[in-house]
Structure 1
Amino acid sequence: MRSRILGDLGLARSARATPSGRMRHVPARLSAYYVAHFTCTGIHLPFWALWLASRDVPADWIGVLIGLGYWVSIASSPLAGRISDRVGAARPPMAVLAVIAVLGFVAFSFASGVPALAVLGVITFGAHSALLPLAESITQAHAAAGNARYGPVRLWGSLAFIVASAGAGWLVEHVGAAVVPWLMASGTLACLVASQQMPKRADARVPSASDDASATTPRGVAWGALVAGMVLAGAIQATHSVYYGFGSLRWSALGLDETTIGALWAEGVVAEIVLFALAPPLVARVGPAPMWIAGALAAALRWVLLARADDLARIAVAQLLHALSFGATHLGAMDFVRRALPITRLGTGQGMYTAILGLAYGVATPAAGALYERMQGDAYLVAAAVAGVAGVIALGAGPWIVRRATTA
């Protein structure tokens, strides 16, 4: 019973993992990095905009400054992915990137003015944004080899997000927003330590010819279809820009305190965790396209609800849709990349997807800032319209994109 429970949570060693010392506790070592990384995310997403606002940055410039972090990832993530694929290792680049990000977050506490914040944002978020795709490439390699399951490993990051957002909300409420960069620096230091404990990507092996041999066998890549699928998933995710950039500000304007705001973010992620725990068999059976369709349609509904919600009860109902708007879309994208690429190109593939996400968010976040400045909560209606269009495209073209990308 104990091993079954641990297996469901991604902590037990896979039955197919090798018994060698370097392959022990692979799911737990992978999960530890997600805990560290999404501790940072649980601080950044709900409270970075509040910290910028505490520095007297106007709402439209908050959108620009947050968007800069996404824009720089367009270059930094593919570059880091290519380097990791060329050297055959992800952990050394991750160490360098984490050190740069830690120093950058410390420097934020001493910076003021939009130009200084922009320069620091490019450096710091450029480094930090490149960490996750490298970690994803390691996890996907071991998932393809049967050493771990992606959903149960990734859910530990979501649990960390809940704890971090709730804890950071309490600290911001009682200590002040000035604590946010220091919390980010501490979380990124944890990323540095955890990244060096991850199993090596090169240690991932498909145990036998009867398993997924395509994961390690060189084969052609349908780059056009691969990019199309990434763009579709990125467009759905980018509809979260109003929520990520200005959700906390909106709820604060409605009279909710920081602790309640943190709890609302946590609620959405609880729903996401349930999906991550239960979804692996479903994703394996239906594939990426249905996950994208569900994610897009849920996003459209969620943004309409948040545009009209002005009390805690209705906001709480809308937050449950995070399981699909983010979670289903993300699981579909990760499964798509894993199916479309061999292990030796996963670093490049994850870097490409992060770059496309960066481009999507880099366009959407400043636009969200301008929309929020003028429309307040009604800015969500624009996001709902984009999600609806993405859902129609996913319904019509999604299955063809997946077939083309995975049968090259």
Structure 2
Amino acid sequence: MAAAPAAPPLGGPVLALFAFASGLAVASAYFAHPLLDVMADDLGLSRATAGLIVAATQLGYGLGLILLVPLGDLLDRRRLIVGQFLLSALALFAVAFSRSAAMLLASMAAVGLMAVVTQALVAHAAGLARPAERGHVVGVVTSGIVLGILMARSVAGALTDLAGWRAVYLVAALLGLAVAALLWRALPARATPRATLSYPRLIGSLVTLVVEEPALRIRGILALLIFADITTLLAPLVLPLSAPPFSLSHTEVGLFGLAGAAGALGAARAGRWTDRGHGQRVTGVALSLMLLAWLPISLLDRSLLWLVVGVVMIDFGLQATHVANQGLIYRVRPEAQSRLTAAYMVFYAIGSALGSSLSTLVYACAGWPGVSLMGAGIALAALAFWALTLRAIPSPTGGA
């Protein structure tokens, strides 16, 4: 098999482009979070079922993880990534021009399907990085993803107040086209030799990886729990904040996402700590932080400042755990990074869909106290599961 082409250095502009493109791609799946009320009202969905907008996106994301992300081990990654950005732009245009709830949900599912290009970029960056720096590189790209999520909430709120929610998706589609052109010029064709499997066997190997690799199974279940936890917070958050006594605008609701900027710092630092063999220690501290975050979050009715404190804590813990997860699973099968990414992120998509769907129903039935209890219960389950499986994944370099 021919050697892979020489990779460009992953410092400076190249790594920054990976981070920016990843952030923009994932933002498309998060624009709706602060807009659920206005989107639902515009297209005839009830407030109790508004979470279906997010759930449709996550359903599409899950299908994309299974059907598209593994192709990074088979096809030219540059063509794959650029092609997905172009199709993502088309899906975003479809959302902007939706005129019924059915069309909106189908278009949001298509947005989620194409948003998995984020994971193709992460796997591509991991493949280009040297093994000793892989956690750091993944951490930097994940920092871009975190900032993309945060800016998605803030920008979506501001644009909605200025020009309506449809403008959010029109602008995103235009930006996606521009980024596709930049990526075509900058990305190498591929970083690793291509797999020799057929497409059906490639997809089937996802199950084989989950069965054979305990690190993937354990870290995948943790991903399911932590992303169910964060969407339990984010999906219904606009409902109490936009209602009395707060009555915040969509711009103001979106700004609350900026409180989670600490998550970007958590991602970058967690990558370096995982490279040094401290992935398990990072996970334990981060999961504890996510559990404790629900105490200030539950005090929303007393002060918005408590919510800010809780968002900072939970986002930091989430991103630190997420990067530690990826740093550990990428050590298992370096030749199958796209498939490892796909299998791992399927757990993420399931957790996100469950959290967003159930939390809006819980809010309708039990209000914010019910949401807080649900979130704390999920965080506690994640911490307990980590403790029970602590010895199942040995540290690669002797760290805790």
For residue 127 of structure 1, what is the aligned residue in structure 2? 114
For residue 294 of structure 2, what is the aligned residue in structure 1? 303
For residue 240 of structure 1, what is the aligned residue in structure 2? 230
Give yes or no for contact 1:137–1:201 (8 Å, CA) kept in 2: no
Q: How high is the TM-score relative to the length of structure 1?
A: 0.80
Aligned residue-pair number: 371
For residue 202 of structure 1, what is the aligned residue in structure 2? 190
1:256 equivalent in alignment to 2:248: yes
For 1:275, the aligned partner's letter is: G
Give yes or no for contact 2:229–2:375 (8 Å, CA) kept in 1: yes
Deviation of 1:135 (Å): 0.8
For residue 10 of structure 1, what is the aligned residue in structure 2? none
1:313 aligns with one of 305, 310, 327: 305
Change (3 A) 1:260 1:94: same
CA distance in structure 2 between the aligned counterparts of 1:38 and 1:248, rounded to whole angstroms: 20
Unaligned runs of 5+ in 1: 1-17, 206-219
2:330 aligns with one of 330, 338, 355: 338
For residue 116 of structure 1, what is the aligned residue in structure 2? 103
SS at match of 1:351: helix
Counting aligned pairs with the same residue, the percent is 16
2:181 aligns with one of 182, 185, 193: 193
Q: Deviations over 1:315-353 (max 9, x none)?
A: 1211220343321121112212222221x2101111112
Deviation of 1:241 (Å): 1.7
Deviation of 1:161 (Å): 4.4
Q: How high is the TM-score relative to the length of structure 2?
A: 0.81
Give yes or no for contact 1:102–1:189 (8 Å, CA) kept in 2: yes
Change (3 A) 1:191 1:349: farther
For residue 283 of structure 1, what is the aligned residue in structure 2? 274
For residue 13 of structure 1, what is the aligned residue in structure 2? none
Deviation of 1:100 (Å): 2.3
1:369 aligns with one of 360, 368, 385: 360
Unaligned runs of 5+ in 2: 1-5, 194-207
Change (3 A) 1:241 1:85: same
For residue 140 of structure 1, what is the aligned residue in structure 2? 126
Deviation of 1:119 (Å): 2.2
Deviation of 1:278 (Å): 3.4
Give yes or no for contact 1:22–1:199 (8 Å, CA) kept in 2: no
For residue 4 of structure 1, what is the aligned residue in structure 2? none
For residue 199 of structure 2, what is the aligned residue in structure 1? none
Q: CA RMSD in A?
A: 3.2
Change (3 A) 1:90 1:227: farther
Change (3 A) 1:356 1:151: same
CA distance in structure 1 between the aligned counterparts of 2:264 and 2:53, rounded to whole angstroms: 29
Give yes or no for contact 2:259–2:311 (8 Å, CA) kept in 1: yes
Deviation of 1:369 (Å): 2.2
Change (3 A) 1:56 1:376: farther
Change (3 A) 1:22 1:360: closer
Change (3 A) 1:53 1:322: farther
For residue 30 of structure 1, what is the aligned residue in structure 2? 18
Deviation of 1:134 (Å): 0.6
For 1:172, the aligned partner's letter is: T
Change (3 A) 1:173 1:284: same
